Structure 1
Amino acid sequence: MDRDVPAQRTPPPRDASTGRVPLAVAVVDENGLVSHWSSGARRLFGVTRQEALGCPAGELLPISGVLGQEEDRGGFGPELDGAPGGSLSYPASGRARIDEPEQGRIDVLWWAYPLVGPGPGRLLVLAADAARVSGAEKADGRDTGTVAPAFALHTDFPGYQELAGRLPEILPSMSVEEATGIVAQVLELGYPVLEFSQLSRIPVTPDWGVPRHTARPLAPGPRGDGEAPEPRAVPRPELDLEYAAVRERLEFLNEVSGRIGTSLDLERTIREVTSAAVPRFTDFAGTHLRDAVLAGEGFPDGPPDVTTVWHRVWVEHNDEPGRWDDTVPVGESIAFPEHTPFFQCMVTGEPVLVPHVGEELSNRISGEFEKRDLRPLITHRSLLIVPLKARDVVLGFMVLMRRPGREPFDDMDRTTGAELAARAGLVLDNARMYTYQENVADTLQDSMLPQVEPRMAGCDIATRYLPGARLGRIGGDWFDSVKLPGSRTALVVGDVMGHGLNSAAMMGQLRTAVLTMAMMEMPPAQLLRNLDDLAQRLGEQYLATCLYAVYDPIRSELQIANAGHIPPVLVRAEDGRAELLDLPTGAPIGVGGVAFETATVRVRPGDRLVLCTDGLVEVRGQDIGAGLAALCASAAHPAASMDDACDTIIRALNPRGGRKDDVALLMARLNGIPDDHVAEWQLALDPREVARSRRLVRGKLLDWALSDAVEAAELMVSELVTNAVKHGRCHHIGLRLVRTGALLCEVSDDEPAPATLLDAACHDESGRGLLVVSSLAREWGTSTTAHGKTVWFEQALGGIPRPRSHSR
């Protein structure tokens, strides 16, 4: 061999680990805007995810020539959709130098893939710092020469199955469907590789995971004294990769933390947590919650046991469709057996790691579950179960699994999974508390609002209550209807100033007071006067508006008093005209020292009265007069039913459901009672009038073709008239029959003492009259005024019960 000719050096073989470089990953949508931006992209280009999303891709990515003519405008329309004439219908790569504010000029290697399919992504961009590649090669004692990005079939490399399996880890956090579609297209178009001047090619893999350590010898270092050199440590790239792996996991947790908790909806929160882990951290994720937590029943008591029922809220995986649906369906409630890793996790509250589920363990776990075979799903997989805890109580747990061929879970993964679960547990507990408070507020509000009868004597009623958009969904708006003697009906609507539990509590007190005073037949103005006094006794900050109306369907009139409330709307049946009633306004309840007035309004059958709170008509920044005008216009709109009329008003004045205040709406159609359905008589204070009253009632009921009601009505009327004759002071007793949906009978006298139901002994000769009425009537009652009292009963028409034997 000629000594002057140097020997040819064969390039050393390269392995796949050489290609481990931090990658920047971005996805661009059809409008040329960035839709996904990884943490690696933030580090390489110095732009945060919040700043990048929605930004034109041409302003951030150095992919010269890919964006076509639209690059300057940040959009490229259909040119990346693979259509004829498009500028990128195949993958492209290149090298560019850019000026980065913090790092100065950097050399960037990039790969670009056109994307097709139903998802929004139209371009996938990978990028890496060329200096990192060259620096790694030089630290390994190799001459890099020229490094260029390129593409190759992933099957050209050893361990190509692992390369394909790890490809989803390159992608930023996105749904499984999006990631699966992008991975398939990347594998079809060509795997990203680095091409060196020695024509060596190595596959690019993400800087994620901790490689096995290899021993590194100590290299001799120079000494200035001529003695033997001191050994010094050779740089270990593995240590850098360990730090990078820890950093990647922390950034993964930060990205997940930014994605979860966007809503206080419990199930949506769980879906966000579960989906965030797949496919970047795991291939399968299933989340279970305690049934009590999901139902919003408050914080669960004590640790779980074999009787605890768990609800599978969500499952996410990148396996073939339908693989898990039959065996572990979403929505299933299940109690987990004792001798399983799932039970161990939920009882101890600690993560459970099974690096490899062998056939023996798979058979044992599957055998604990009846009527389901888990072996095809868990055998030869890596299993990690992490608890979802809040205040040291297990609320649920997540089951994580990796497929064969992917790196099994290790201790670092267990720590990462535990931290993921800890952050999810905090968000989950917030959502749980919100759901619980919502349930409590709804229950409290529902219990305070009355169940209004849709049909009263001479009128039909429809109501609506809409909670405001504030947290808690509870306030001080209320409505009510009260049945009064004489076939009259009291209609009430009120609004306590403020919001929340204090307003709701005051509303409950005022509503009870109005109901009590209405049964005492107080005139509207006097009722509001007494309510005002009560509010001042309850506290200085008790303020409310109230509108109280009494409808007499026999006289066809309304008596109304107002305490600072918005006026009602009366829709005339004759011409469909809607008008605001001009009433004395009065001051709100709780102001004190202000007189209230009662106004009388004549109405006709078919007229409609609309009462509401100001939350329906008041909009910030607008005059309330505009809202009242809109209320009149919508109330006058024809409707097929009362419910439809209420819905029309709500839609017209609350089109987007965005009002901040509560809304209470009460509508009454004033049908009236025809004159021929009312019969009145004056009876003398004479015992012989008892027999006459029975004859009068019999005759009128036969005229009304109510023969089935005669026997019971005669008996009850005779009892009431007998009491009136016995206790009355004047010369006249009033008797009135009113026929509506039921038969109403009233007996009036001038004795102010209310009628009392007595417990008569077996030898007593009297005291059983009201017992008879109470047993035969559907309802009965007594009311007193300054001039006397009225005792009334209401008898159902049809299916009249036969009177029971009694003695006087």
Structure 2
Amino acid sequence: MDGGGERDTSPERGTGDAAAGRIPLAVIVVDRDGLVSHWSSGARRLFGVDRDAAVGRPAGDLLPVSGALPEEPHAEPAPDTGAGSDGLGPDLEASLGGGTGYATAGRARLDPDRRDPDGERLDVLWWAYPLVGPGPSRLLVLAADATRLRDERGYDDETAERVSPGFARHTELPASDELARRLPEILPSMGPGLSGRIVSQILELGYPVLEFSQFDRVPVTPYWGVPRRPGRVRAEAAVPLERAVLPVPAGAELELEYAAVRERLEFLNEVSSGIGSSLDLGETIREVTSAAVPRFADFAGTHLRAAVLAGEGFPDGPPDASTVMFRVWVEHNDEPGRWDDTVPVGEAFAFPEHTPFYQCMVTGEPVLVPKVTEELSERISGQFEKRDLRPLIGGRSLLIVPLKARNVVLGFMVLMRRPDRSAFDGMDRTTGAELAARAGLVLDNARMYTYQENVADTLQDSMLPQVTPRLPGCDVATRYLPGTRLGRIGGDWFDTIKLPGSRTALVVGDVMGHGLNSAAMMGQLRTAVQTMATMETPPAQLLRNLDDLARRLGDTYLATCLYAVYDPIRGEVTLANAGHIPPVLVRAEDGGSELLDLPTGAPIGVGGVTFEATRVKVAPGDRLVLCTDGLVEVRGSDIGEGLAALCESAAHPAASMDDACDTIIRALNTHGGRKDDVALLMARLNGIPDEHVAAWHLVADPGEVPRARRLVRERLREWGLPQSVETAELLVSEVVTNAVQHAEGDRIGLRVVRTDALLFEVTDAEPTLPTMVAAGPYDETGRGLRVVSRLAREWGASAAGHRKTVWFEQAITPEHDRPR
């Protein structure tokens, strides 16, 4: 034991002059049945009984303390709570029997047959704490050898006889905060739950102390760590707690080292159970940083490479002086706001080579600085412009540990302790490295999950079309909500495809299942639909072709698909269904909505099933709503309820198409735990007025070419578009000339449609599609389609039956841009 005066002092002087003591303690826990449940190695040395032989036995058989375990089990306990005139305290049996709810202490000598190695009777000091709360533990007993206290501290017999155990509130003792922090070290081999519960009750009932003449109280705590020099020394003058160099009795070193290692393993175990509770990268960063403060360090700052923070792939190559690190989180137990302005979260910079941070980052090994010197603090602070770190880091102990995964440095963690705390040592370096290793794996898991989510989102976004909101004769709005299942990747898709004749194809499909395979299947089917649609394949035939394609790709997946073609000139929609939920048509005339009654058909991939097409007349302003079943189908509910809700919400008035889509989503996406994808496509069918469409019949005669130019010129001038006449005449002349030269029939059709652009269509009876050819300098033909391709905004050709149509679009040129 260190400290403590050998003179009598009066109670009025208080205890502030007493220094903390160090004395080896035996720790015993007794359960509710009076059996030993915990037996420390100190108890083994003091009482001579191994742990295996002690645990589970009655405590009265193992604690032969004179006067503390009387033979009469119902003997009344002594009322004294401190040392009596004879130096003996109350009976320990009173505590074991639950006779008091207060802590008790005492001093006794062992029975004559129990002697120390030198043949003398052992003089035992003990403290007993009744335990309350959950769990089977009922009593904590701390015991110490007063004989070693006398021999190793050099007290004479008179002084040793005046030492007795007692209690004092920890706030009455010098350096009470330090004592409270060190108190868990008394229980080095207990779990954190039991240890924490016991420590809280010790602080409430009284700190274990030694009393000199019942006046000087000296707190008793066990020595922590490896002794600097073993052996015996005499009592010295009292020294401050943080500077005391205290000896450890011979033979205790192994237990102390074991306790130190066990405490660090418990710390790492608690950290491991507290981090990684979420795969969210930001939450994981906060958990990892906060785990070190305040138990291991007073300051912790986590820095990560940009690629890790962005959730990208694994960082390329080792870091160097040009590697940018982001400070992603800071945790400390200083006064609030002290570090905020100097080391703000979110700051990005590269560390110079002369700093210890660079050394840790490049080598991937921990860097330990026991004390930040003035020169080092100047060097570190020099890299921060207009900020002085020296007052914050000077004199502190610094430990920088790398955050690694699969031998790649993801970043590092800066750990610091205040000068009034023990500096980091070699064991702390190992503990910090293990903490960083576990944190690195957790961070890498979160990074990989974020990366996979980004890949899934990118893949999903790339497979969904960039829908043009305005198409000839209709406006379109869409919504897509990814599901919550594996990878957030599904097989739902929608599409709008521009067709010849100002028509638009509207598609909604759903590949059954989720994951990358479903998304890949969806991509193939969507591409096939686009290809067949541009070839003007009729809706029913398109679904048949798609069914054949799906079966050739494999029989693992099925898909539903709804394909609709809107003709704004005729005012009709042609639909074909392959096992999909029917669309909703909202009539502009009265605002009513209805589910279109279509032949359901079988899903794509079943095979051998016929598909039918249905034509529906529509009026300008009508809205067509197509969606996947993820919007209307709820597990445990009838899908009819969802379809009824879809009809009701689709008919709700809205200021815009986007607002109408949002209204549907809000109305139907209210159920929790939605796991399926949702694809929604809404088209407002505006139609094209009759006065914006002009059509003529021509004969297959070269003399019809000038007539075609004249008809187009007159109509464009009627529409107030004289600036577009010259280009239109040239392009119409080329296309009609080709039709006259190559058509087999004698009738040629010419149609002009005005929308946001001018659409020209030339139809003849030759099904062979035209192709551009390379014309030589002396060739008289072969240049017509090149002229069309150069001057038209878009052009193309399609065949239907025994006829083909060559079409091109011409942008409407404003008057001030007309060529002169």
Instruction: Quote the residue 1:778 is aligned against.
Output: 793
- Please give the alpha-carbon distance, in whole angstroms, between the structure 1 residues aligned to 2:499 and 2:664: 28
Q: 1:111 to 1:361 in 2, by over 3 A?
A: farther
2:445 aligned with 1:440, yes or no? no
Q: 1:20 to 1:348 in 2, by over 3 A?
A: farther
Which of 313-322 and 409-418 deviates more?
A: 313-322
Residue 247 of structure 1: CA displacement? Answer: 2.2
Instruction: Quote the residue 1:108 is aligned against.
Output: 129
Residue 136 of structure 1: CA displacement? Answer: 7.4
Q: 1:738 to 1:693 in 2, by over 3 A?
A: same
Is the CA contact 1:611–1:666 (under 8 Å) kept in the aligned structure 2?
A: yes
What are the within-5 Å matches in structure 2 for residues 18-97 of structure 1? 95=102
**Residue of 678, 683, 690 corresponding to 1:668:** 683
Instruction: Quote the residue 1:15 is aligned against.
Output: 20
**Residue of 552, 566, 569 corresponding to 1:554:** 569
**Residue of 152, 166, 175 corresponding to 2:171:** 152
Show structure 1 runs of 5+ residues with no match. 1-7, 25-92, 98-105, 113-124, 171-185, 219-232
Instruction: Quote the residue 2:430 is aligned against.
Output: 415
Q: Equivalent residue of 1:497, what SS?
A: strand
- Please give the alpha-carbon distance, in whole angstroms, between the structure 2 residues aligned to 1:136 and 1:645: 84
Paired AA for residue 790 in structure 1: T
Residue 296 of structure 1: CA displacement? Answer: 2.0
Instruction: Quote the residue 2:349 is aligned against.
Output: 334
Instruction: Quote the residue 1:653 is aligned against.
Output: 668
Instruction: Quote the residue 1:702 is aligned against.
Output: 717
**Residue of 705, 725, 729 corresponding to 1:714:** 729
Q: 1:140 to 1:792 in 2, by over 3 A?
A: farther
Paired AA for residue 95 in structure 1: Y
Residue 138 of structure 1: CA displacement? Answer: 8.3
**Residue of 447, 460, 484 corresponding to 1:469:** 484
- Please give the alpha-carbon distance, in whole angstroms, between the structure 1 residues aligned to 2:223 and 2:558: 63
Q: Equivalent residue of 2:514, what SS?
A: coil
- Please give the alpha-carbon distance, in whole angstroms, between the structure 2 residues aligned to 1:759 and 1:624: 58
Instruction: Quote the residue 1:37 is aligned against.
Output: none
Q: 1:465 to 1:107 in 2, by over 3 A?
A: farther
Instruction: Quote the residue 1:542 is aligned against.
Output: 557
Q: 1:656 to 1:380 in 2, by over 3 A?
A: farther
Q: 1:639 to 1:657 in 2, by over 3 A?
A: farther
Instruction: Quote the residue 2:13 is aligned against.
Output: none
Q: 1:701 to 1:804 in 2, by over 3 A?
A: closer
**Residue of 681, 685, 700 corresponding to 1:685:** 700
2:265 aligned with 1:250, yes or no? yes
What are the within-5 Å matches in structure 2 for residues 47-446 of structure 1? 95=102, 108=129, 131-135=140-144, 140=149, 147-148=166-167, 150=169, 152=171, 157=174, 193-194=207-208, 198-202=214-218, 210=225, 212-216=227-231, 239-367=254-382, 372-446=387-461
Q: 1:272 to 1:319 in 2, by over 3 A?
A: same
Query: TM-score of the superposition, structure 1-length normalised?
Result: 0.77
Which of 363-372 and 293-302 deviates more?
A: 363-372
Q: 1:290 to 1:746 in 2, by over 3 A?
A: same
- Please give the alpha-carbon distance, in whole angstroms, between the structure 2 residues aligned to 1:719 and 1:686: 14
Residue 242 of structure 1: CA displacement? Answer: 3.6
Instruction: Quote the residue 2:602 is aligned against.
Output: 587
Is the CA contact 2:750–2:760 (under 8 Å) kept in the aligned structure 1?
A: yes
Instruction: Quote the residue 1:179 is aligned against.
Output: none
Residue 627 of structure 1: CA displacement? Answer: 1.5
Instruction: Quote the residue 1:4 is aligned against.
Output: none
The Cα RMSD (Å) is: 3.5
Q: 1:20 to 1:464 in 2, by over 3 A?
A: farther
For 1:180-229, what per-residue CA distance to the aligned partner results, in whole angstroms no more than 9, with x for missing partners?
xxxxxx9xx99974466735545688x895264452359xxxxxxxxxxx
Residue 523 of structure 1: CA displacement? Answer: 0.6
- Please give the alpha-carbon distance, in whole angstroms, between the structure 2 residues aligned to 1:701 and 1:204: 105
Identity %: 70
Q: Equivalent residue of 2:513, what SS?
A: coil
Q: 1:23 to 1:554 in 2, by over 3 A?
A: farther
Q: 1:801 to 1:730 in 2, by over 3 A?
A: farther
Residue 362 of structure 1: CA displacement? Answer: 2.2
- Please give the alpha-carbon distance, in whole angstroms, between the structure 2 residues aligned to 1:21 and 1:248: 17
Q: 1:771 to 1:168 in 2, by over 3 A?
A: farther
Which of 649-658 and 637-646 deviates more?
A: 649-658
Q: 1:290 to 1:307 in 2, by over 3 A?
A: same
For 1:745-774, what per-residue CA distance to the aligned partner results, in whole angstroms no more than 9, with x for missing partners?
111111111122233223222222222222
Instruction: Quote the residue 2:114 is aligned against.
Output: none
Q: Equivalent residue of 1:462, what SS?
A: strand
Q: 1:799 to 1:514 in 2, by over 3 A?
A: same
- Please give the alpha-carbon distance, in whole angstroms, between the structure 1 residues aligned to 2:546 and 2:801: 20
Paired AA for residue 752 in structure 2: L
Residue 673 of structure 1: CA displacement? Answer: 1.0
Show structure 2 runs of 5+ residues with no match. 1-5, 10-16, 30-99, 105-126, 151-159, 187-199, 234-247
- Please give the alpha-carbon distance, in whole angstroms, between the structure 2 residues aligned to 1:751 and 1:416: 84
**Residue of 512, 528, 538 corresponding to 1:497:** 512
Q: 1:412 to 1:459 in 2, by over 3 A?
A: same
Residue 95 of structure 1: CA displacement? Answer: 3.3
- Please give the alpha-carbon distance, in whole angstroms, between the structure 2 residues aligned to 1:486 and 1:789: 12
2:628 aligned with 1:616, yes or no? no
For 1:325-350, what per-residue CA distance to the aligned partner results, in whole angstroms no more than 9, with x for missing partners?
23322111111111221111111111
Count residues with an aligned counterpart: 674
- Please give the alpha-carbon distance, in whole angstroms, between the structure 2 residues aligned to 1:248 and 1:560: 72
For 1:562-619, what per-residue CA distance to the aligned partner results, in whole angstroms no more than 9, with x for missing partners?
1111111111112222211111111111111111000111111111111111111112
What are the within-5 Å matches in structure 2 for residues 571-610 of structure 1? 571-610=586-625
- Please give the alpha-carbon distance, in whole angstroms, between the structure 2 residues aligned to 1:145 and 1:129: 24
Q: 1:213 to 1:240 in 2, by over 3 A?
A: farther
Is the CA contact 1:19–1:194 (under 8 Å) kept in the aligned structure 2?
A: no
Which of 484-493 and 694-703 deviates more?
A: 694-703
- Please give the alpha-carbon distance, in whole angstroms, between the structure 1 residues aligned to 2:657 and 2:372: 65
Q: Equivalent residue of 1:615, what SS?
A: coil
Q: 1:804 to 1:575 in 2, by over 3 A?
A: closer
- Please give the alpha-carbon distance, in whole angstroms, between the structure 1 residues aligned to 2:28 and 2:725: 93
Q: Equivalent residue of 1:95, what SS?
A: coil
Q: 1:590 to 1:379 in 2, by over 3 A?
A: same
Is the CA contact 2:749–2:763 (under 8 Å) kept in the aligned structure 1?
A: yes
Residue 637 of structure 1: CA displacement? Answer: 1.4
Paired AA for residue 169 in structure 2: A
Paired AA for residue 431 in structure 2: T
Q: Equivalent residue of 1:450, what SS?
A: coil
Paired AA for residue 313 in structure 2: G
Instruction: Quote the residue 2:474 is aligned against.
Output: 459
For 1:103-142, what per-residue CA distance to the aligned partner results, in whole angstroms no more than 9, with x for missing partners?
xxx9536899xxxxxxxxxxxx9xx997444447787467
Query: TM-score of the superposition, structure 2-length normalised?
Result: 0.76
Bigger radius of gyration among the two: 2
- Please give the alpha-carbon distance, in whole angstroms, between the structure 2 residues aligned to 1:691 and 1:244: 105
2:531 aligned with 1:510, yes or no? no
Q: Equivalent residue of 1:498, what SS?
A: strand
For 1:769-794, what per-residue CA distance to the aligned partner results, in whole angstroms no more than 9, with x for missing partners?
22222222211111111121111111
Is the CA contact 1:19–1:202 (under 8 Å) kept in the aligned structure 2?
A: no
Instruction: Quote the residue 2:541 is aligned against.
Output: 526
